[in-house]
Amino acid sequence: EKADWSGLLKKDEILYVGISQSGTSISTCEVMKYAQQEGYHTLAITGNLNSEITKYVDTKVHLLVGDELTPPETKGYTTSVISVYLWAVECAHVTGKMSDAEYEKALDDTKKLVDQFQTVVDESEAWYDRNRTTIVNSDRLYFLGYGIDFATAIEAQLKVGEMLRLPALGYEIEEYSHGPTMAISKKQTICIIGSDEAEFEHSVDFSKSFKKYTDRVHFITCKDLGNDPRDCVFSVKTNKYLAPLMFTVPFQFVAAKGAKDIGIDTAINPFDENLAHYKD
């Protein structure tokens, strides 16, 4: 791989950013090491400023996450997303891509969401508790989303796979409709993530279609959708760029509380091969 296949950028116009909560992710450390050797600017966002990744960067930024209580990281993901979001907002303002008014609104929107985050947590847990029986007794779980929400689907896939340890798959929703739909059965759970994307109404149409084949269809959104108890419709409202901070929380409950409900100790790693992280 190359940082710039076009050859139009100078090396000092390219910044490599490595995000590693522990600072020991082998793949991330190797990329930063390569970038440093090739003469690119390098920056690490990490919870440990003395970790392996910091050996290979010019600048290190502290990820203010604190300690996780279990190896699969949940608050680390949330903290990473809000950190990079605020970093993007600040850079946009400094470089003139965002006006003073837009900048102040972005910060205000962020503060409003943070101040209401306990409501997000409470509503997420209530959603899981309403639907726990079918979710933890599923043969497979699918997580679907458009645009920015596809990233949340991938994070949901990761966390549920790590902790609940059931087959979990994340798809862009159109991709899911081109083939994987043929495998729908009544014991599969489908979670659709929908924020303020152009395709929101299309997502709603998909959910109605999927419900003809399984009752286990859940919509996660902060847009108005109705009163189906299978859905998690947040009372807290925000823009589509901050919404991923909310939309991951229901799946973190599926992962953590679901694992507890079926007797999985998530502090024990059943796959103890040293392939992803350097040993301390």
| Domain ranges across the chain | 11-103, 118-261
Q: Is 151 exposed, middle or buried (0-12, 13-18, 19+ CB in 10 A)?
A: middle
pLDDT higher than 80, residue 272? no
pLDDT band with cut points at 50, 70 and 90 for residue 59: very high
Q: What is the mean pLDDT of the chain?
A: 92
CATH of region 118-261, choose from 3.40.630.10, 3.40.50.300, 3.40.50.10490, 3.40.630.30: 3.40.50.10490
Rounded to an integer, what distance in angstroms lies between the CA atom of residue 19 and that of residue 17? 7
* Residue 243, SS3 per DSSP: helix
Mention every residue, 6+ apart, whose C-beta is less than 8 A from residue 46: 18, 19, 20, 21, 22, 23, 53, 54, 60, 61, 62, 63
* Residue 181 confidence (pLDDT): 84
Would you say the CATH fold of 118-261 matches that of 11-103? Answer: yes
* Residue 207 confidence (pLDDT): 92
Rounded to an integer, what distance in angstroms lies between the CA atom of residue 242 and that of residue 55? 32
pLDDT higher than 90, residue 265? no
What average pLDDT does this structure show over 17-42?
A: 94
* Residue 269 confidence (pLDDT): 76
Rounded to an integer, what distance in angstroms lies between the CA atom of residue 279 and that of residue 264? 24
**Tokens found for residue 13:** 């116009």
Mention every residue, 6+ apart, whose C-beta is less than 8 A from residue 236: 113, 116, 119, 120, 123, 222, 246
What is the layout of strands, in order, in the sheet containing 15-20?
A: 15-20, 41-46, 59-62
What average pLDDT does this structure show over 208-234?
A: 93
Whole-prediction pTM value?
Answer: 0.87
What average pLDDT does this structure show over 13-21?
A: 95
* Residue 56 confidence (pLDDT): 96
pLDDT higher than 90, residue 271? no
pLDDT higher than 90, residue 28? yes
Phi/psi of residue 43, nearest 5 degrees: -145, 135
pLDDT higher than 70, residue 280? no
* Residue 198 confidence (pLDDT): 81
Torsion of CA 151, 153, 155, 160, to 10 degrees: 180
Domain 11-103: CATH class, spelled out? alpha beta
